[in-house]
Chains A and B, each alone.
Chain A
Amino acid sequence: MNPVDPFERQLREVFRRVEPPPGLEQRILRRVRPRQPRRLPPWLAVAASLVLVVGGSLGVMRWQERQHRQREAERVRQQLALTLEITSRTLARADQRLRSIGVERIRLQEVSSWQEY
């Protein structure tokens, strides 16, 4: 390249670098760095996790209590049923005894009344 050649000098002037349009750099960087999805702030993520954990724990505890109460109720029901069964048998035996005693007394009374004659 001949620096003193007027034509080449003219070419350098005509084709010198131009200023890029305003904001071009930012547009390029925006394309390179796309917008990140918004993330929860850390404290909010921790709070949400705690709510989930506590809520879940409470739910489990209530369910366990309900299970316990149901088992207790069943146990009491079974005991009551057993008690009623025993009582019923006892009463039946007692009745039987009483009936048998009642027959003998009548007989005894009959015998004694006969003896009076």
Chain B
Amino acid sequence: MDATPDFAEIVREHQAMVYSLALHALRDSAAAEDITQDVFLALHQNLGRLESPSHIRHWLARVTSHRCIDEIRKRGYRRGPALEEVGEPGRSDANGDPLLRQRLRQMVAALPAPARLMILLRYQEEMELAEIARVLDVPVQTVKSRLHRALGLLREKMGRQTAGVQEARS
């Protein structure tokens, strides 16, 4: 199939989703671009089998997520320490939200690969649990429990960090 206007339109419509998922998962813009290009190349080869715009979106989210998980596992990919090891904010973090936001990104990047993608599919793409389960090929209950556990840990860490910031401000 040629790179027809239809395919170019699909790229234009979905490249932000694919790139953002990869970037947030890997925290590496070069790796994110490589994955994005590979995913769309695979899409081009499989486009004849996809039946609708929603099918295309689902397919892209699925392939991107799996590529990210594979990449994370292959490299033993960690940006920063494991979640439990992420330090509490000190007084220096009282400079405000940008640091808290950065710390939140670090905490999510410290999660295990599947949990990381669950968080991203939930909060970047606003997917429901059932759709996340289909994208990641896991039972809905697995998504529910892992997401719940990850959010609990993140809240706990962020709660302590937020309290630390507020204390620094007061």
Contact = CB atoms under 8 A, between A and B. Distances in A.
A116 interface: no
Contacts of B155: 7
Interface stretch (B18-26, B56-64, B83-91): B18-26
B76 to A, nearest CB: 23
A31 B15 contact: no
B119 A33 contact: no
Q: How large is the interface on A (under 10, 10 to 19, 20 to 34, 35 or more residues)?
A: 20 to 34
A7 to B, nearest CB: 6
B41 A11 contact: no
Contacts of A31: 37, 40-41
Nearest to A12: B123
B11 interface: yes
A15 interface: yes
Contact of B123 (A11, A24, A29, A32): A11
Interface residues of B, number: 34
A100 to B, nearest CB: 103
Contact of A32 (B7, B16, B104, B154): B7
A33 B104 contact: no
A1 B154 CA distance: 15
Secondary structure at the A interface, as helix, strand, loop or mixed, is helix
Given A24-B33, A24-B36, A28-B15, A15 B24 contact: yes
B70 to A, nearest CB: 20
B122 interface: yes
Contacts of A1: 122-123, 126
A27 B34 CA distance: 11
Interface string A14-39: 11111111001101110111000000
Contacts of A29: 3, 7-8, 11
Contacts of A20: 15-16, 19, 33, 36
A40 to B, nearest CB: 21
Interface of A: 1, 7-8, 10-21, 24-25, 27-29, 31-33
Given A7-B151, A24-B19, A31-B40, 8 more contacts: A7-B154, A11-B104, A14-B105, A17-B124, A20-B19, A24-B36, A29-B3, A29-B8
In the complex, the 9 A-B pairs of residues with the closest C-beta atoms, listed nearest first:
A33-B3, A11-B123, A17-B20, A20-B19, A15-B124, A17-B16, A32-B3, A32-B44, A28-B40
